[in-house]
A and B are shown apart, each in its own frame.
Chain A
Amino acid sequence: MSSNAIVCEAVDFGYTHSILHSVEFTLRTGEFVAILGKNGSGKTTLLRLISRILHPTRGTLSTPPVIGWKGCDLPSYCPFSVEEIIHLHPPHVHPRSPSDIQHIISRFNLKPLISRALETLSSGEQHRVLLARLFCGTYPAIVIDEPLTALDPRQQAILSEELVRFAKTGGLVVVASHDVHWVTSICNRAFAVKNGAVVEIPVSHVVTPEFQLIYD
């Protein structure tokens, strides 16, 4: 049974000038949604809006009370160990069962890193830890900016499997990505951001030459 998870109605956002305007969509639980668009088009801004990091200047946006967020930047100073980070969640988000957490630790191959400080890891390893954290708490939805960044092909495949599993078990996944082949192979909805407008497009169209025009 799917239900509405994120409802965006006539949402505008801008700082000094408009970045996104008249954004309308409804995302449901169990969906795996991709946001596409060229650099600077407002993909990340849209992700920040639905994660309640930014607030619309106009319109209404209803979301779950808390969303698992993973941006594309690494923290500048994070003196915690891997184990501490995967247990770091907002108030009211509970850790998943110890066996689920063990499963995630082994899936993301974090066992050898578990007691190391985040700052001593390579950037790919740091991204892995921050991604694994999202699967260790009871988040109703997770939002990831550029999920494949810095991951090796094996880890990209594992992350993809875990994201699909998360959506299949009633979670909502929203990602921003430039990898159109990955998007067509894995997502079930896609939105393009261009000139401040957000338009839904059939997932199969994402790989067509015509779609590439959004990057012009």
Chain B
Amino acid sequence: MSKPVLTAGLMVALALAILVGIAIGPVSLRHMPTESVHLILSLRFARLCAAAVVGICLGAAGAALQGALANPLADPYILGVSSGAGLGAASAVALCPVAVLPIALPGLAIAGSLLAMGLVVGGVRIVGRHSPADFLLVGIAVNASFSALTLLMLVTAGPRMNWVILWLMGDFSQASWPQIIGSTIICGLGVSGLMAMGRALDAMSLGDETATSFGFNVARYRFWVVIVASILTATAVSMGGIIGFVALVVPHIVRLLGIRQYRWLVFLSGMWAALTLVICDIVARSILPTAELPIGVVTALLGTPFFFFLLWRRRHVV
């Protein structure tokens, strides 16, 4: 599929999905006073925007990391960023008064993910080679210890545990406009930065030595992709909680559509992930009449069979 067609198609689909998402919801808007209707519509619009921005962050970060770490299974969470955020969120719930939780939870989540990223980058510095395997190994180690600390916090959090669990499964309902606008700015800068590194990522797919012979400083590019992708992930996690699977799967979907150059892959994976999360958010809040499903549950349940289908199809096409 050609890049302009796919770009235009995704833009239109995203706009339509947001319009549909504003119209659909668990509450009927008939016989309601106008102010309430406005309030509900603006709440829905906010969470749909949050879903789209989170999607762009995760899709772009996943695509760039798969390239920089030369691994089709790399995803932003493997670097420990999500468990860092999880630990931050769990600490907020366990330690802060309820009144400040709406601010403390995303704030500590961001702090936790930046701490995890710092440990990974510092750990790789100590190991000293900046190879893809170093990043993955240090990331897995940081991930494991932060996950363990999060579980420890949850055990001590007592009755407020539910709040954290809900957030750990992904949730857009708490997104506020200042947060959405701030995240959009970080998202725009981060995605542009990753796209600017696209040619280096293309070369790195031929191996570090070949990319170096192209004139690219591979260690420096890998370092910056990890930093930018971690910041994008922290942004996404602080606004939407932990939403698995999207960052891993979406770049592979976009590749199967014929987009492989990283500059485009990063951008279109972001767009595709945004569309995915907006649709999943609509499904999450309208499929059950009485309750809202956590978004992470929807992405994983819808994503898994779809991904299997794509893998199966690839075997037959290629």
The answer to whether B207 and A76 touch across the interface, beta carbons within 8 angstroms, is yes
The answer to whether A77 and B71 touch across the interface, beta carbons within 8 angstroms, is yes
**Does B199 reach chain A (CB closer than 8 Å)?**
yes
**Does A84 reach chain B (CB closer than 8 Å)?**
yes
**A60 to chain B: closest CB distance in Å?**
19
The answer to whether B66 and A117 touch across the interface, beta carbons within 8 angstroms, is no
- A52 nearest in chain B by CB position: B213
What are the interface flags for B53-94 relative to A under an 8 Å C-beta threshold, 1 for contact and 0 otherwise? 000000000000010001110000000000000000000000
Q: Helix, strand, loop or mixed for chain A's interface?
A: loop
Residues on A with beta carbons closer than 8 Å to the beta carbon of B66: 77, 79
- B contact residues, total (Cβ < 8 Å): 21
Interface locus among A3-11, A66-74, A198-206:
A66-74
Q: Which of A71, A77, A79 lies in contact with B210, CB distance below 8 A?
A: A71
The answer to whether A77 and B70 touch across the interface, beta carbons within 8 angstroms, is yes
Residues on B with beta carbons closer than 8 Å to the beta carbon of A71: 207, 209-210
Docked Cα-Cα span, A68 to B261, in Å, equals: 20
**A125 to chain B: closest CB distance in Å?**
13
**A16 to chain B: closest CB distance in Å?**
12
Interface locus among A21-29, A85-93, A187-195:
A85-93
The answer to whether A90 and B215 touch across the interface, beta carbons within 8 angstroms, is yes
**Does A213 reach chain B (CB closer than 8 Å)?**
no
**Does A215 reach chain B (CB closer than 8 Å)?**
no
The answer to whether B318 and A75 touch across the interface, beta carbons within 8 angstroms, is no
The answer to whether A75 and B205 touch across the interface, beta carbons within 8 angstroms, is yes
Q: Which of A77, A79, A88, A116 lies in contact with B203, CB distance below 8 A?
A: A88
- B66 nearest in chain A by CB position: A77
**A99 to chain B: closest CB distance in Å?**
25
**Does A107 reach chain B (CB closer than 8 Å)?**
no
Residues on A with beta carbons closer than 8 Å to the beta carbon of B202: 80, 88
- B residues 193-225 in Cβ contact with A at 8 Å: 199, 202-203, 205-207, 209-210, 212-215
- B residues 170-211 in Cβ contact with A at 8 Å: 199, 202-203, 205-207, 209-210
Docked Cα-Cα span, A76 to B211, in Å, equals: 13
Docked Cα-Cα span, A79 to B255, in Å, equals: 8
Interface size class of A (residues with CB under 8 A): 20 to 34
The answer to whether A75 and B70 touch across the interface, beta carbons within 8 angstroms, is yes
Q: Which of B199, B215, B255 lies in contact with A66, CB distance below 8 A?
A: B215
**B256 to chain A: closest CB distance in Å?**
10
Docked Cα-Cα span, A192 to B215, in Å, equals: 28
**A48 to chain B: closest CB distance in Å?**
7
Residues on A with beta carbons closer than 8 Å to the beta carbon of B215: 66, 90-91
Contacts A84-B260, A88-B206 given; indicate if A69 touches B72 (C-beta within 8 A): no
**A20 to chain B: closest CB distance in Å?**
17
The answer to whether A79 and B209 touch across the interface, beta carbons within 8 angstroms, is no
**Does B240 reach chain A (CB closer than 8 Å)?**
no
Q: Which of B132, B199, B209 lies in contact with A69, CB distance below 8 A?
A: B209
**Does A57 reach chain B (CB closer than 8 Å)?**
no
Docked Cα-Cα span, A70 to B210, in Å, equals: 7
**Does A120 reach chain B (CB closer than 8 Å)?**
yes
15 A-B interface contacts by CB (under 8 A): A51-B209, A53-B212, A71-B209, A74-B207, A75-B207, A77-B66, A77-B70, A79-B205, A80-B205, A85-B206, A88-B202, A88-B203, A90-B213, A90-B215, A91-B215
Which 9 pairs across A and B sit closest by C-beta, in order of nearness? A69-B213, A90-B214, A77-B70, A78-B205, A75-B207, A53-B212, A76-B70, A71-B209, A51-B213
Extra pairs beyond A71-B209, A79-B72, A80-B260 (7, CB < 8 Å):
A66-B213, A66-B215, A76-B207, A77-B71, A77-B205, A91-B214, A120-B318
Binding site for A on B (CB under 8 A): 66, 70-72, 132, 199, 202-203, 205-207, 209-210, 212-215, 255, 260-261, 318
